[in-house]
Amino acid sequence: MVNFYLEGGWGMYPVTVFGLVLLAAAVGFVVRPNRNGLKRLQWLMAVVLGAGLLGTVTGFIATFQYVAQMPAPKDAFVVLVGLAESLHNLSLSLMFAVLGGILVAVGTGRLPKDG
């Protein structure tokens, strides 16, 4: 797991912070479900996924800028490694989104029935 964070770079830290906030809010929603909490959870989910995508895109940009300065024989290998490392950001955000989604589904099932 340590290599997962090192390979993903700086973008892993905002994803982790926002992901933990999402999970805390989702657990709170399971404990005390209410319709007002759903909108907040939707926005938190969007922020987590957006942070993961931002980290991935900035990793792609850094990889392409670095490869542009390399000699030809090694550039394909470096591109593949750089893109794989950049995708760690997106995969972490998706992990948080899936866990948050499961908790939201449980909380939604516990919402009081209307009427």
Give the pLDDT means over successive 10-residue stretches in the chain (115 positions). 86 97 98 93 97 96 87 80 94 98 96 76
Distance of alpha carbon 21 from alpha carbon 45, whole angstroms: 10
pLDDT at position 112 is 85
pTM for the complete prediction?
0.89
pLDDT at position 19 is 98
pLDDT at position 106 is 97
Distance of alpha carbon 25 from alpha carbon 69, whole angstroms: 45
Distance of alpha carbon 72 from alpha carbon 7, whole angstroms: 23
Kindly list the domain boundaries of the chain, sorted by start residue. 2-109
pLDDT at position 115 is 46
pLDDT at position 100 is 98
